Structure 1
Amino acid sequence: MNRRRFIQTTALGLTAFTVPPLVPGCTTAGGSDSGTLSTGQNWSNVPGNLLGPNAKAGHWLRQTLAPATAVEPDIYDVVIVGGGISGLSARRWLWQKGVRNTLMLELETQPGGNSGSGKNDVSAFPWGAHYLPVPDARHAELIDFLRETGTITGCTANGTPIYNDYHLCHDPEERLFLDGRWQDGLIPNEGIPDADHQQITRFLALIETLKKAKGADGRDAFAIPLDRSSTDPAYRLLDTITMTEWLDQQGFTSTYLRWYVAYSCKDDYGTTPNQTSAWAGLHYFASRKGVGVDANGATLTSAVLTWPEGNGFLMNQLRQQADSPIRSQTIAYAIDLADPSAVRVSVNNVPTGKQTVIRARKVLLAVPQFVANRLLTTADPTRTATGFHYAPWVVVNLTVNALPQTAGKTLCWDNVLYGTESVGYVSANHQHLTDSPQRVLTIYRPLTGNDPAEVRRRAYHTTREEWLHQTMTELETAHPGLSAHIQQADVWVWGHGMISPTPGFIWGEARQKARQPVQARVYFAHSDLSGISIFEEAFSQGIRAVNAMLTGGGIAT
């Protein structure tokens, strides 16, 4: 009995969430016709919310405020500022190393960063990152973590991991809407000219070569975590040019291939090929080397792990694997290193406005560098991290009671529309394996542009109705009549959604300098210190920072 039939037969699909019903939420009034699609749909009448990180509290950090004076009595071994994946990974790693006297400070009501999630009476759904490719078995720390989560259930005689069927994305996985028809997979294939087919075939063959390539130092040319990649200049020089320049050098002119490469850059980096380091662009394709088997013994070489809540599942697992306290709705706004016995962290309780000082022997800043710079303005004014660029994103979750289909491949987990601004949508309740017509569609749209700051400013001034108008203008081309089936529409704006690997950044000095500790007392961990915003990098940055912290001494384990 296959997994789909088994789950349907035993009624083990994840459909029994006890959650609030769909209810109307706050909306932002748009212009005279910003909420109305050509079909006549008025988006102001559709329940939902315009959401995002706590921008008000975050902007409060920009103010010049005097350090707090009321000192809390406890002294912690480690205070972690920031509850994203890097911070949670560090908290777990400290716990496993026996360092229990720690405190995490989190601005939001719940930790998670861009691995956060939501849920309603139809399904849980992601607000950001939504999958993890089966990892390289050599990434021992991540493999161990996945064992602890139950995602890996055992291994074969030769050590190959066996994966939990309920965590593997089930078929059908991917489809592409091209020329009015859905086709299997995301690489343009059906109905394209032979010359384009030939270029795509040559590109994929080159990628296979790069997957196996090793530098003169014996390391993989492209690896995850990326700091394990080869130092060979033959590969690292790719970081000095754009992905577009590399395509030009290789003679790849196919419009379809260039669209696929552009889609891939937007998907992981929020950038266009003109803005993306060629090394990073190739890393997207050539670094995934995970191998495993499923519960029935089938070999997995390109599978992904996913859950209705996306990487919210992994976030919750990280959180549960340590028992040290997390103080939510608390923003750190200044760090003082003048006291040699303890680092003083001034914090503000967001709901009450009460300001206090928390003391720690060491502090881990698991926040983006533009936040770390502000925290350290008075403690170390010489420490500035430059060259960090962040891509804004918008994520739309649509709850629908039906999904009108067009010709071709049936609904998949990942559904991409050729030539659109978005990178498609995932069916959040794909893993439920039920035949219910109700679904949550999670649409991802990177906001690309030559000036991210200006794009970010416009995003903050765009209404929910305008986002829905843009989203449905795309989706209606593949799902005519979908607008009439929307029950709820929620929009999340990520002003600084992910780090952008611009040319020269990954193997330049800025990234290396930014992660150097200050006085062996303040350490740094965030995916932006990798230059690539994926779960594996954030997870590894937390472990790297803790290992450096423990090596520096001053903490009993």
Structure 2
Amino acid sequence: MSGQMFYKDEFSAYLKRRSFLLRIGLITGGIFLNSCYKKIRSAKYNIQGALQGPDANAGHLLRDKLKLPSAKNTRKVKTLIVGSGISGLSAGRWLKKNGETDFEILELEKHIGGNSYFGSNKIASYPLGAHYITIANNDDALLIDFLKEIDVITHFEGQLPYYNDYYLTFDPEERLLINGAWQEGLIPDFGVPIADKKEVRRFLAEVDQLKNTRGNDGKFLFNIPLNSSSTDENYRKLDKITFEAYLKEKGYRSKYLLWYLNYACKDDYGQKISHVSAWAGLHYFASRRGMAANAAQNAILTWPEGNGWIMKKLAEQLKAHIKTSNLCYELKPISNGNTLVTVWNTKTQLTENIEVEKIILCAPQFVNNRLLENFNRNIDYKAFNYSPWLIANITTNELPESKGVSLCWDNVAYNTSSVGYVNAAQQHLNLSEDKKVITYYLPLCDFEPAIARLAAYSRNYEQWLDIVIPELEVIHPGITKAIETIDFWVWGHGMITPAKDFIWSKNLEKAKLPIDNKIFFAHSDLSGVSIFEEAFHQGINAAKQVINATS
């Protein structure tokens, strides 16, 4: 799930030593959250757990525009941020860093974080969505500054950042179950015919060349954030065809390579190569070129709670500004040039109006479509498609193993529906833990997103078990009897799909524009790729626009 595309080299020896020394030198304690949901027990499997997701009732209140009680009061806030995902928190952080204090961050859910939200039990914290980032590209000064701020980068050796060893993924890192055994790395190799291996290496050589190629404007063809990529039309035109069509044109036929590329697109985009643009497909492999003093290029940074750890760091200085359980219901322009925002508190069941000078909408565009009925953005909202996902956090007292490489952080099985699972306790320093929590990721991409979403919402706990357990049994025969709990989380709109003619479309360009220099937008769907770095930069860009408009 890292997008890494290299075979292990001599650097592995250092990484193994680092992991071993950290683990034997220290013992860590766990921090647990109290469960606040009803447990469900499956009669068929004798497994208990929960089936959860974002607050559907509040979401439907906005979708169906059900009538709210009249507002009891109106108050004023200079800048209002709607949404406390990574983009909203990043916007708040930037405002505060630049001396702005009169702002609030409203969040519909009882918790913050968006798809970086996480959970915990007595065994481990675990992700409920995004679960890693890679080391930053060295030209990404804003991200590097933030990583220094939160001690992910501890210092520099020469020109290269030195990353905190506790946050670089402990070895063993990745494995693939293929042809009856676990191999190291996710690129199919064990038992793969020589002709297929040659084709795999041809593709890797191609994207490695693209990674270091600049367009006719001097910029890298593919970069993070996306808006720093080259505008060279010779390559941007790849956004107008599917990745599948591009691969056929290039003569890639190997079933092993095509499986790997489908896996990669499902991992970052929630869709297969037939549903993402060629530009997006190549971006996955050719956009990351970060170098570090103590890590391999493209090395992974992760935590037990996944990106929830970074999310908490973003939120640390913003606690006084965040208000959860607050549904932003409607925006209206008023005669003095400000905007009147109607807000419904899902906890107190009270309505209030907030008069704001500026507003940053850090919600996905299908939500903004409901909020902005009194404004004309002149964009096609139907062009924004979101892939649904199922996340399953599975607590086991044993993990039956097959031959080959032992349990890694990232564990994927060839030719299965999911993109595998991560070991939530990989970064724990205690190697003797018997019980484990593994986080299983299933992109629901076999049907069009709207159909897959409807099916996902209609399934009950038993039906999800019937989908997940058989695949787990293929991966780990006999695991069912070792499972103690499975907690499911359904993301109906998990991530934006970078379909063909989306990322560099005029429609997306228009969607990024503010309204009357009063309403600004920040969300990863405005980049076309749902990764941490894009949301982080989206928030900063919107906050800068607000500051410039104010000054």
* Shared fold (TM-score, shorter chain, > 0.5): yes
d(CA) in 1 for partners of 2:420, 2:311: 23
Aligned with residue 399 of structure 2, among 379, 383, 403: 403
What letter corresponds to residue 3 of structure 1 in structure 2? R
2:125 aligned with 1:111, yes or no? Answer: no
Query: What is the match of residue 77 of structure 1?
Result: 78
C-alpha displacement of 1:23: 9.9
Deviations 1:284-328 (A, max 9, x none): 00001111122xxxx421210000000000100000133542111
d(CA) in 2 for partners of 1:520 and 1:219?
Answer: 29
Partner of 1:231: 231
Q: In 2 relative to 1, CA 382–254 (structure 1 residues): closer, same or farther, beyond 3 Å? A: closer
Structure 2: stretches of 5+ with no match in the other structure: 1-13
Report the identity percentage: 44
Structure 2 residue aligned with 1:308? 304
CA contact 2:32–2:124 (8 Å) conserved in 1: no
The aligned residue for residue 284 of structure 2 is 284
- For 1:531, what is the secondary structure of its paired residue? coil
Cα distance change of structure 1 residues 382 and 208 upon mapping to structure 2, 3 Å threshold: closer
* Residue 27 (1) aligns with residue 28 (2): no
Q: For 1:383 and 1:349, locate their aligned partners in 2 and report how far apart those are by CA, in whole Å.
A: 30
Partner residue of 1:123?
124
In the alignment, structure 1 residue 164 sits paired with structure 2 residue 160? no
Q: Does 1:485 align with 2:500?
A: no
1:421 to 417, 420, 430: 417
2:20 matched residue in structure 1: 5
Report the Cα offset of residue 549 of structure 1: 1.6
TM-score norm. by structure 1 comes to 0.93
Q: Give, in angstroms, the shift of residue 427 of structure 1.
A: 0.2
What residue is the counterpart of 2:521 in the other structure?
524
Q: What is the alpha-carbon distance in structure 2 between the residues aligned to residue 245 and residue 380 of structure 1?
A: 36
Q: Secondary structure at the match of 2:183?
A: strand
1:496 alignment partner, SS class: strand
TM score, norm. by length of structure 2 = 0.94
- Determine the C-alpha separation between the residues in 1 that align with 2:373 and 2:469: 44
Q: C-alpha separation between the residues in 2 aligned to 1:201 and 1:381?
A: 46
Matches within 5 A, 1:453-532: 453-532=450-529
2:336 is the counterpart of 1:340: yes
Change (3 A) 1:146 1:308: same
Is contact 2:75-2:354 (8 Å) kept? yes
> In structure 2, what residue type is equivalent to 1:388?
F
Contact 1:416 1:424 in 2 (8 A): yes
Matches within 5 A, 1:71-470: 72=73, 74-157=75-158, 159-294=159-294, 299-380=295-376, 385-433=381-429, 434-470=431-467
Aligned partners of 1:68 and 1:347 also within 8 Å: no
Q: CA deviation at 1:57?
A: 0.7
The Cα shift of 1:17 comes to: 2.5
Tell me, yes or no, if the aligned pair for 1:126 and 1:312 is still in contact at 8 Å: yes
Match of 1:533 in 2: 530
How big is each residue's C-alpha offset from its partner over 1:45-90, in whole Å with a ceiling of 9 and x where there is no partner? 3221001000111011022356775364542111111111100000
Matching residue's letter, 1:89: S
Cα distance in 2, alignment partners of residues 259 and 225 from structure 1 = 27
Could you say which residue in structure 1 is the equivalent of 2:5? none
- When residues 340 and 65 of structure 1 are mapped into structure 2, their CA distance, relative to the original with a 3 A threshold, is farther
**Aligned-CA RMSD value:** 1.8
Cα distance in 2 between the residues matched to 1:190 and 1:127:
31
- Any stretches of 5+ residues in structure 1 without a counterpart? 29-34, 37-41
Whether the 8 Å CA contact 1:101–1:324 is kept in 2: the answer is no
1:429 alignment partner, SS class = coil
- Equivalent in the alignment of 1:542: 539
The whole-number CA distance in structure 1 between the counterparts of 2:245 and 2:422 is 31
Partners in 2 of 1:405 and 1:384 — Cα distance?
A: 49
Q: In structure 1, what residue type is equivalent to 2:465?
A: L
How big is the shift at 1:383? 6.0
Describe how 1:13-52 pairs up with structure 2 within 5 A. 13=28, 15-20=29-34, 25-27=38-40, 42-43=44-45, 45-52=46-53
Q: Distance in 2 between matches of 1:54 and 1:308?
A: 24
Counterparts of 1:490 and 1:99, CA distance in 2: 40
Match of 1:39 in 2: none
Aligned length: 535
- Say whether residues 1:552 and 2:546 are aligned partners: no
